[in-house]
Amino acid sequence: MSPLCLTILAPLRRGEDTALGGILRAIGDDIKGKRLAAGERPHIDFRRCPRTHFARFAILNDPDRGAGCTRLLFASVYDGDLDRHLAELVAATSDMDAIWGGCEGYGGAAAFGAFARQHALEPEGFYIAFRDGTVASIRRAIGGDRRSAPPSFVLWLSRTWRRVVRALPVLVDLVRAVARFGLVAVYRNTSKVVASLDRITVFRVFNRLTGNSLPPRRSPHSSVVLYNCAPLAPLAPGDELPFLPAAPPPALREDLVAQNELTLVTVVRPGSADRVRAVLAAIDSYARRLAQPGSLIGVSTIHFVRWLLIDDARRLVLLSDYDNSWESYIDEFAELILSGLDAIWETSYGYPPDGARDVPALKRFLRAHQVRADVFYSAYPDDTVLNIVDATAG
């Protein structure tokens, strides 16, 4: 069974975000609990969550409820069923009330399962680098434990068969997408996604036969002035910052381990929700049916990434767990799948006129919509996707 994801977005009562932020930052600063004295402060012992791949907490703006309102985001990727995952989270948390008590509707640790399900959101698209990999199997492979591995030919045959079986429903996905969005919308949005993917034979043939290509750039120059000390601000009328303004802006936890997390919230232009859904449906189908282990159309730094439409599809959320630095991650995306980035975010306020080809403007757009994760946990923090590919190769 492939890993599953949980995304909880719960409104916080007014004034709770400051104290909660301090609690979460303390947990994030000592994610392994090495500096924790017994009973000293709230903590989450993720060692008691052996089926959890990644997890994060972040505090987001909640502008629909009014200025200054916030909400708590919890996102995880886990093996097995949801009830067991939630039970592990409760058992691993020393003081559930300290973390969740500021949320509206929270009824205590005993009722956390019902609360979590009430506020859980389903992704529009979800990519998994290793669909057959559990936390246990990845750790064993990384540790060099191949005692139970079958002969290489048998392993290759088994993997090939699973990929064929996984790919077969792609036509069913296509029929469902056409029924949901219409043939014209599916064709147009899929064309946008693959416009820059000529390095992949099937997409190159499609682009040549249909004359599909990226539109010409509007300007050879970047649309932003490179002044990194300027405070972040909305980039266009209708745009929002997904975090409460601070002076100085809060630091982002990046490059502390081999992996990083990216949490983005952008504002979708009115009337564009189905367009975004159609794009994400195409990406989701490819990711689930056709993507090779450890590679999303050539990008081999992503462990998990999901997209969600929230607030009646007025906002788009991206949650990614990836390797290496933020700069190299964005550069790789802009180089390898720039048309996919354009298709996803061109309907969001503030997206650069020339899209991902204007890399400085793209990075400014992403930074302006990135939310700091106060807690970021990884079950295998020192290992990259490529490490795992090598460890699990037959």
Of 118, 142, 170, the residue at which a domain comes to its end is 118
Q: Where do the H-state alpha helices sit in 215-325?
A: 273-289
Q: 150-160 b/e with 16+ CB inside 10 Å = b? A: eeeeeeeeeee
Give residue 22's identity as a one-letter amino acid code: G
Residues 6+ apart with CB under 8 A from 280: 124, 125, 307, 344
For residues 58 and 159, membership in a common domain is answered with: no
Same domain, 159 and 74: no
Q: In terms of residue numbers, what domain contains 8?
A: 4-118
Residues 96 and 156 both lie in one domain = no
Give the Cα separation of 309 and 319 in Å (integer): 12
Within 8 A by CB and 6+ apart from 69, the residues are 11, 12, 14, 61, 62, 63
Structure tokens at 15: 């004034």
Q: Is residue 162 part of a domain?
A: yes
Return the closest-CA partner of residue 322 out of 343, 344, 295, 349: 295
Contacts of 53 (CB under 8 A, 6+ apart): 3, 76, 77, 78, 79, 135, 303, 304, 321, 378, 379
378 is a domain residue: no
Task: Examine the domain organization and report whether 166 and 271 are in the same domain.
Answer: yes
- Shared-domain flag, residues 158 and 34: no
CATH classification at residue 266: 3.30.70.100
Q: Is residue 60 part of a domain?
A: yes
In a domain, 323, yes or no: yes
pLDDT value of position 128: 97
The pLDDT of residue 228 is 63
Kindly state whether residue 49 falls inside one of the protein's structural domains.
yes
Instruction: List, in order, residues 6 or more apart from 16 with CB less than 8 Å away.
Output: 70, 102, 103
For residues 101 and 157, membership in a common domain is answered with no
pLDDT single digits (tens) 9-66: 999 999 999 999 999 999 999 888 777 765 678 999 999 999 999 999 999 999 999 9
In a domain, 129, yes or no: no
Give the residue from 51, 11, 8, 49 showing the smallest Cα distance to 31: 49
Q: Which of 108, 88, 89 is nearest to 98 (CA)?
A: 108
What are the C-alpha distances in Å from 123 to residues 128, 166, 214, 244, 318?
13, 19, 27, 25, 9
**Does the reported pTM lie above 0.85?**
yes
* Judgement on whether residues 163 and 108 belong to the same structural domain of the protein: no
User: Is the CB of residue 119 less than 8 Å from the CB of residue 8?
Assistant: yes
What letter does residue 345 receive in the DSSP assignment?
A: H
Contact (Cβ atoms closer than 8 angstroms) between residue 346 and residue 355: yes
| Secondary structure of residue 256 in the 3-state scheme | coil
- Is 108 in the same domain as 162? no
Q: Do 163 and 107 belong together in one domain?
A: no
CB of 382 closer than 8 Å to CB of 142: no
The token pair at 118 is 């009430």
Question: Is the distance from CB of 359 to CB of 245 less than 8 angstroms?
Answer: no
Kindly state whether residue 387 falls inside one of the protein's structural domains: no
d(CA 166, CA 154): 18
- Domain finish residue from 118, 136, 164: 118
Regions in the chain scoring below 70 on pLDDT = 37-39, 145-161, 226-230, 245-253, 255-256, 394
| Residue 260 pLDDT | 93
Q: Do 290 and 357 reside in the same domain of the chain?
A: yes
Task: Supply the pLDDT for residue 178.
Answer: 92
- The per-residue pLDDT for 247 is 46
Residues 43 and 173 occupy one common structural domain: no
Same domain, yes or no: 100 and 212: no
Characterize the bridge pairing of strands 70-78 and 4-11.
antiparallel
pLDDT reported for residue 248: 47
- What's the pLDDT score for residue 35? 75
Nearest to 190 by CA among 279, 274, 276: 279
How many structural domains compose the chain?
2
| Residue 143 belongs to a domain | no
